[in-house]
Structure 1
Amino acid sequence: LQRFKEGKVYMPEQAQEALRNFFRKGNLIALRELALRRTAERVDAQMRVYMREHAIGKVWPAAERLLVCVSPTPDSARLVRAAKRMAEGLGAPWITAYVETPAQLRLPQGARNTVIQTLRLAEQLGAETVTLPGQKMSEALLAFARDRNVTKLVVGKPRRRLWQRILLGSIVDALVQGSGDIDIYVISGEREDAAPAAPDRRRERAIDWPSYGWAIALVALTTGAAWLMFPFFELADLIMMYLLGIVVVAMRHGRGPSLLASVLSVAALDFFFVPPYFTFAVSDARHLFTFAVMLVVGFVISSLTVRIQAQAAAARSREARTAALYAMSRELASTLGVDELLTVALRHVSEVFKSQVVVLLPGPDRSLTAWSGGQFQLDASELGVARWVYEHRQPAGLGTATLPGASALHLPLIAPRGPVGVLGVRPADRHALDAPEQLHQLETFANQTALAIERARLADEASDAQIRMETERLRNSLLSSVSHDLRTPLATITGAVSTILENGSRLDDRTRQELLESVRDEGERLNRLVQNLLEMTRLESGALQLRKEWHSLEEVIGAALSRVGKRLANRRVTTRVPPSLPLVPMDDVLVEQVLVNILDNALKYTPPGSPIEIIATATDRAATVEVADRGPGLPHGEEDKVFEKFYRGRSDGERGAGLGLAICQGVVRAHGGRIWAQNLPGGGVAFLFTLPITDAQPTVDG
């Protein structure tokens, strides 16, 4: 502000205006805070990269960062709010993490809904949310905390009693023992007014009686096999047979049937293979220890097998979600245009979530309108839900706490520059999106769609900006070329006419004739320039209409030579047109203009008196015209550039506006032919163009 007052930034009157409108003290403080925050984020990111590159496992407390761990209990919402207040007090970013252990995979639907609601609450409060897979919750949390350089870890108070913590352990104790430099905060959060919701018990798991039947049958089958082996094998070998049966039951039918198979296997071993036979009595007390070990091993094997299967199922589910997201992202990345992107996004969302999908996009007045490719119609109430979602940037509708009576779930499409629309999803099963992973995946799809829409719009804006820049460049080039080419002949005409008017009586006839001829020549030059500008305008606007008729190339070439005849007075022009050359369908006026422009180009860029040659040939499919000169030729690599608008080569004499050859290219392409330039071996350049002959030659009836 002092520099402003001293006039070191703006002029005094401008400085006062800037101080009143923008550079106020509050604005400058806010800008300084934003700059410091951005600097801190960049330094923190660089530090974490350095730690990973040098395998530094401990935490460097360069800046505060909080990590709060949530669980399926209703108290997790209070824990999240308490962590939010703690993060605000420290001015630190915070992360909310949920660890998905094998035990967590078996939670009922109500508990899983609690988790997703808690994570959603954390996102609304500004936290970054993550779901961590792992065997032990404490190990997964500490590994993630060290990777993200977390300085404070917040957990809830343990619910187990003291004797349970001693026997079974506690996550708080495990975190404290392995935390190292990380501070552990154990809090309960403030009590909420509303009582926690009761767990959802609508879907009790039914007993799978057939699986238990298969477990009994498999134990019986194993007993039969062991009975055949009994005379030839030891008791330990028979125990291995029963353990193998327990593994098979655990793999095929789950925990309960495998536990039953363990108990039945011990009982069958005792009844059939331990003396006294066919009774449960045991003569040797050591067999009791064998039975106990066998039962424990059976329980452990069944538990481990079921856990591995649950982990494999979770891994397959994650793989399927990742593959679906990758397929959609890959297709979005290779698609251009908002309509095409929305078609791709709706197809993927509809296929993955078995739903009908609609997208609403904002108009110029920010009112939402349904995209034409949607899969269902929205009534007035659904449109109201979508408008609320767009304005508040939060999900609403089916399965949420906001307007749950809606028939569809509405998600905001939020891009870096703000909301770009609303995604509406109406699943065939109203409970299809109850699973937390399903909802998270849908939100990820929505985010990818929003980013794709933003990318397409930015591409359109960049294209428009490029077009405006190109238009401005062409306009400047046109003004520069035309102003020069208009000013030169106008100055000549003005000077000649002024001389005749002022000194007409004192001029001899020869001088007067030369002045009048210069006026005529410069007038013709102006006429050619204006005609070229008009032709280019017609070509670019698409207003050029061909009037094709069958004409003789010899006559068109003769007409072009007549138009530039006076300028060719000191040139030797050779034409080679075979008498058998067929008629060609063309617009003779425009093709004549092509020849005139090529000849005019040769006159400008070749030495005076150098020869010009015109050759015409034809095949069954096309006629080719070649105009060759013996000038300096074209620089290497510029054979195609000469046909660009406003391109002009080096010339010591008269220069044009750089439109003649561009017009030639437009006319020839309009006829369906091609035009090109090539340097000649002996010096000079040849311009060739073709005119297609697509129809049969006309006949003259006698």
Structure 2
Amino acid sequence: MTKERQTDSQESLPGIEKEGQGKLTVFLGATAGVGKTYSMLEAARERLTEGMDVMAGFVETHAQTETEALLSDIPAIPVKTREYMGRTFKEMNLEAILERHPQLVLVDELAHTNIPGSRHTKRYQDVEELLTAGINVYVTLNIQHLESLNDVVAQITGVRVLETVPDRVLEAASQVQVVDITPDELIQRLEEGKVIIQGQAAEFMKKFFRPGNINALREMSLRYTAKRVDSQLESYMQTHGIDGPWPSGEKIMVCVSSNPFSARLIRTAKRMAARQNSDWLAVHVAPPGQMPKCEAEKSTMAQNLSMAGKLGAEIVTLHGDDIVEELLALARKRNVSQIIIGKPERTRFKELLHGSIVDKVIRNSHGISIHIICGRREANEQKPEKVKKDNGRSLGNIPLHRKYSYTPYLISALMMAVLTLIVAPAASFLGPVNIFMLCVLPVLFSGARWGKFPAIVTAGIGVVIFNFFFVPPFFTLSVSDFRYVISFVILIIVGFVTGTLSARLKDQINYSRQREEQVTALYSLSRDLTAVDKLERVLDSIARKIADTLDGQVVLLLPDEKNKLVLSQSSSSDHFLTESELAVAAWVYERGLKAGQGTETLGSAKALYLPLTTEQGTQGVLGICFHHPKGQIDPEQISFLDAFAGLAAMAINRIKLASEARQAHTLAESERLRTALFNSLSHDLRTPLASIIGAATGLLEDHDVVYSPDARQDLLQTILQGAERMNRFVNNLLDMARLESGMLKLNKDWCDIQDIIGVAVNRLEIVLAKRLLDIDIPVGLPLVQADYILIEQVLINLLDNAVKYSEPNSKITISVKQLSAKLEISVANRGTPIPETDLSKVFDKFYRLNSPLQVSGTGLGLSICKGIVETHNGEIWAENNELGGVTIIFNLPL
């Protein structure tokens, strides 16, 4: 095999590679037959000897012995076959490669178009998915398949290449290796049968494989590589702070319309931007309310803007009556230095009639360079057919096409006839001038009511009637006075101007109504989503609102616990999801890219699927199955759909974050409870346990020691106090657990509050032994309906708290008084008062006051009191008393 000369750009462009993404190496050739596949296989064998996991995904050897010999040593993933139009085709098995997940995969013929029904329309999209999955890819590509060079190649060779690859694919490559041989060597290989062009060998021999063509294509491939090396050098200098002459910033704007010729302008702009290393914009100006003339024009417009987006342009759509003013205003605002505009194929008469946009742009450019491309139609470019449609629907449910009707013309003729019958008897009185002015009225009415053409027809009828009945010689169409001809022309002009202005105003109204409906729908959805805090209601609101606005069926799919998409909401009971549709939705969820109907990825699907993406990742998938099937989706629709998807994603994410916040709060509270319990266990359990164990050990082990009755009594009291302290602690924990879980049930009965106070005091007899107890209970108190045990627990906790925060030998007062319908009980001590700001906090869980006294406890006692009292429909509060202590008061309803 002939040895090829190779130029390798080893350094990768900065900012292209993403973390976790595979690296792309492109073996670039001028044309078929230069040895790209052979060079790719040689490089793959080197990687194989280095120990890398290399697999052949799809390699076309064309039955060449040398190529097949190289391929035989490389493991291959079996291709899959597809039936199409009665023939069997081989395609790369993308699913098998993703499942096998090698380190490096070899893919031939990057520009190949997949058989309909494949996951992606183009093979380069398969490669992009492999790169996203973290797999390194070697690919082969000819320079003529680059999208921005498509028309240049056609001009050079006379052959239009139909399969193209967006420039962004090559620009994202980590490495581009040029494979090059001389034209003589290539032609010789063609003659020897080593270059196979199936079905077109004769045509390519005559038109393509000529020395001049090959040299031109070689120059294009080498120039492209040189430009990459230039960019890498500049990047290196910037990274290492090396001073150098930097080119001044340039920005290019290309004007795009629904004309197929705009595709050539877009490619020209891409090439200019690439040569100058500048940003570029693709701008379309649509007069407000202007509707597409036919579906073909709408499709062409969408294709042109889609091509510009694929080539890396920033898409801008403007609305305004003055196209030139809108273009130049944007150019000045965005600091555009060069404008590319096409000169349409118009006659001189049309330019004089409508004005030349190109001339206006040149006159008003003021320092902006204007590049004019003449609109010469290619042989394979056809004018879009004017397809008649009726009652098409837009995003805002505004009709795009009006039904043709003869009614306006009949009514206009009838108005003129009625006017003639009314005016004729008084013709001599009114005179020609007034009659002419009366004839203007139906013209104005027709123009305002029905538009331009009915107004012109009405004006024509008015001219005939006025001439026939009221202009001498009467009852003839001849005119004796030439000045009447001027009046006739004026009447026609009035009809034309009135109708044109009326039609434009109606279109603007329709357009404003459409935009208003869109904005209203977005606002309504955002308002509904903000007010809803339940995921089910959010999903239902999203599905209903989008379905009503877009005239289609909507489904929302969210991941389950196993991260598998499941149907969460549908706008109708019978959804359109099948296994194949779910597979498309799963692909969208995994990749975070739109796919399905109207896109180039899995375009055979019934519905369009959009990822619900936020900064936290993809939250789910939104599926839309339009009731009226759509073809290519225009950029305005895409923007509108993206806005809906963005709102839905943010709403779902907000609900999820709120749920996670609640869970985090619960975990924090649980952690706080656990910490408090451990702290309490270390003191409130260990201290009484230690005293109990010490006293019991003394009684049991010291047999030879004879304790006096008083000493023995003290040891037993120590055991009893420790046990009661532990019992109160455990009871508090159990009561708080029952309160928190809602399992606390009241066992109400008629109780005497004096008995409850007496029992509580007796149980704390030892604790209260070092305090002066003052009990004030009036005689004749009524019984209260309450849970005896729980109210006793409240009083025990309040007395225990009063003891903890008071000095020994100080007074503790228990008082009861009857109000109108309540019984009020208070426990007051003499000690340190509570700051006013903390009075409301003493009933919080785990709240502990700062006190000079050594106070033990968990901080749950008062919180339990609050829960028990409120369960009895009572109230509890704390206040500082006049004697320097704290009084805690609670009441119970009678």
TM (norm. structure 1) is 0.78
Q: Please list, as runs of the form range in 1=range in 2, the aligned pairs for 1:565-604 lying within 5 A after superposition.
A: 565-569=765-769, 570-576=771-777, 578-586=779-787, 588-604=788-804
Q: What one-letter code is carried by the residue in structure 2 that aligns with 1:218?
A: M
Tell whether 2:300 aligns with 1:114.
Answer: yes
Tell whether 2:540 aligns with 1:339.
Answer: no
Q: CA–CA distance in 1 between the matches of 2:256 and 2:680?
A: 72
Q: What one-letter code is carried by the residue in structure 2 that aligns with 1:664?
A: C
SS in 1 for 2:858: coil
CA drift of 1:644 comes to: 0.7
Tell whether 2:759 aligns with 1:559.
Answer: yes
Partner of 1:669: 870
CA drift of 1:574 comes to: 0.9
Partner of 1:13: none
| Correspondent of 1:411 among 606, 610, 615 | 610
| Correspondent of 1:145 among 311, 320, 331 | 331
- Range that drifts further, 666-675 or 401-410: 401-410
Q: What one-letter code is carried by the residue in structure 1 that aligns with 2:618?
A: P
| Correspondent of 2:860 among 659, 669, 678 | 659
Tell whether 2:605 aligns with 1:605.
Answer: no
Q: Please say if residues 554 and 570 of structure 2, whose CA atoms lie closer than 8 Å, have aligned partners that are also in contact.
A: no
Alignment deviations for residues 286-322 of structure 1 (CA, whole Å, 9 cap, x no partner): 2222322332232222212211221122112211221
Partner of 1:380: 579
CA drift of 1:584 comes to: 1.2
Q: What one-letter code is carried by the residue in structure 2 that aligns with 1:636?
A: E
Q: What one-letter code is carried by the residue in structure 2 that aligns with 1:640?
A: S
Q: Please list, as runs of the form range in 1=range in 2, the aligned pairs for 1:252-651 lying within 5 A after superposition.
A: 252-375=449-572, 376-377=574-575, 378-400=577-599, 403=602, 406-430=605-629, 440-480=639-679, 482-485=681-684, 517=717, 520-569=720-769, 570-576=771-777, 578-586=779-787, 588-608=788-808, 609-615=810-816, 617=818, 623-651=823-851
Q: CA–CA distance in 2 between the matches of 1:247 and 1:191?
A: 41
Tell whether 2:213 aligns with 1:213.
Answer: no
Partner of 1:55: none
Change (3 A) 1:485 1:355: same
Q: What one-letter code is carried by the residue in structure 1 that aligns with 2:863?
A: A
Alignment deviations for residues 69-120 of structure 1 (CA, whole Å, 9 cap, x no partner): 3211234455456555665666665544322215843522332233344445
Alignment deviations for residues 252-306 of structure 1 (CA, whole Å, 9 cap, x no partner): 2222211101211222222222222222221122222232233223222221221
Q: What one-letter code is carried by the residue in structure 2 that aligns with 1:370?
A: L
Identity across matched positions, percent: 38
SS in 1 for 2:838: coil
Q: What one-letter code is carried by the residue in structure 2 that aligns with 1:657?
A: T
CA drift of 1:386 comes to: 2.5
Tell whether 2:445 aligns with 1:248.
Answer: yes
Change (3 A) 1:192 1:628: farther
SS in 1 for 2:556: strand
Alignment deviations for residues 10-43 of structure 1 (CA, whole Å, 9 cap, x no partner): xxxxxxxxxxxxxxxx9xxx9xx9xx99xxxxxx
Partner of 1:3: none
Q: What one-letter code is carried by the residue in structure 1 that aligns with 2:783?
A: P
Alignment deviations for residues 348-406 of structure 1 (CA, whole Å, 9 cap, x no partner): 12222343321111234442211145523322232233234434545444455555554
Q: CA–CA distance in 2 between the matches of 1:86 and 1:494?
A: 93
Q: What one-letter code is carried by the residue in structure 1 that aligns with 2:802?
A: A
Q: Please say if residues 452 and 497 of structure 2, whose CA atoms lie closer than 8 Å, have aligned partners that are also in contact.
A: no
Partner of 1:17: none
Q: What one-letter code is carried by the residue in structure 2 that aligns with 1:176?
A: I
Change (3 A) 1:405 1:237: farther
Structure 1 gaps of 5+ residues are 1-25, 38-60, 694-702
- Range that drifts further, 256-265 or 378-387: 378-387
Q: Please say if residues 299 and 632 of structure 2, whose CA atoms lie closer than 8 Å, have aligned partners that are also in contact.
A: no
Structure 2 gaps of 5+ residues are 1-173, 175-231, 240-246, 391-401
Q: Please say if residues 617 and 623 of structure 1, whose CA atoms lie closer than 8 Å, have aligned partners that are also in contact.
A: yes
Q: Please say if residues 158 and 170 of structure 1, whose CA atoms lie closer than 8 Å, have aligned partners that are also in contact.
A: no
Q: Please say if residues 624 and 689 of structure 1, whose CA atoms lie closer than 8 Å, have aligned partners that are also in contact.
A: yes
- Range that drifts further, 212-221 or 171-180: 171-180
Q: CA–CA distance in 2 between the matches of 1:298 and 1:211?
A: 14
CA drift of 1:597 comes to: 0.7
Q: CA–CA distance in 1 between the matches of 2:820 and 2:599?
A: 75
Q: Please say if residues 604 and 651 of structure 1, whose CA atoms lie closer than 8 Å, have aligned partners that are also in contact.
A: no
Q: CA–CA distance in 1 between the matches of 2:525 and 2:361?
A: 39
Q: CA–CA distance in 2 between the matches of 1:197 and 1:402?
A: 28
Q: CA–CA distance in 2 between the matches of 1:550 and 1:82?
A: 96
- Range that drifts further, 492-501 or 276-285: 492-501
Question: RMSD over aligned Cα, in angstroms?
Answer: 4.1
SS in 2 for 1:572: strand
Q: CA–CA distance in 1 between the matches of 2:772 and 2:677?
A: 31
Q: Please say if residues 78 and 192 of structure 1, whose CA atoms lie closer than 8 Å, have aligned partners that are also in contact.
A: no
Q: CA–CA distance in 2 between the matches of 1:191 and 1:624?
A: 98
Counting matched residue pairs gives 636
Change (3 A) 1:635 1:540: same
| Correspondent of 1:136 among 311, 322, 334 | 322
Q: CA–CA distance in 2 between the matches of 1:297 and 1:102?
A: 23
Q: CA–CA distance in 2 between the matches of 1:665 and 1:202?
A: 78
| Correspondent of 1:99 among 275, 285, 296 | 285
Change (3 A) 1:246 1:337: same
Q: What one-letter code is carried by the residue in structure 1 that aligns with 2:766?
A: K
Alignment deviations for residues 122-174 of structure 1 (CA, whole Å, 9 cap, x no partner): 55666554432100212112223334444554444544356755664333333
Q: Please say if residues 251 and 309 of structure 1, whose CA atoms lie closer than 8 Å, have aligned partners that are also in contact.
A: no
SS in 2 for 1:266: helix
Partner of 1:56: none
Q: CA–CA distance in 2 between the matches of 1:191 and 1:283?
A: 50
Q: CA–CA distance in 2 between the matches of 1:446 and 1:330?
A: 15
Q: Please say if residues 539 and 666 of structure 1, whose CA atoms lie closer than 8 Å, have aligned partners that are also in contact.
A: yes
Change (3 A) 1:229 1:591: farther
Change (3 A) 1:523 1:181: farther
SS in 1 for 2:526: helix
Change (3 A) 1:126 1:637: farther
Q: What one-letter code is carried by the residue in structure 1 that aligns with 2:731?
A: Q
Q: Please list, as runs of the form range in 1=range in 2, the aligned pairs for 1:681-692 lying within 5 A after superposition.
A: 684-691=885-892
Change (3 A) 1:368 1:190: farther
| Correspondent of 2:436 among 239, 246, 266 | 239
Partner of 1:201: 387
Structure (1/2) with the larger helix percentage? 1
Q: What one-letter code is carried by the residue in structure 1 that aligns with 2:645?
A: A
Q: What one-letter code is carried by the residue in structure 1 that aligns with 2:754?
A: E
SS in 2 for 1:135: coil
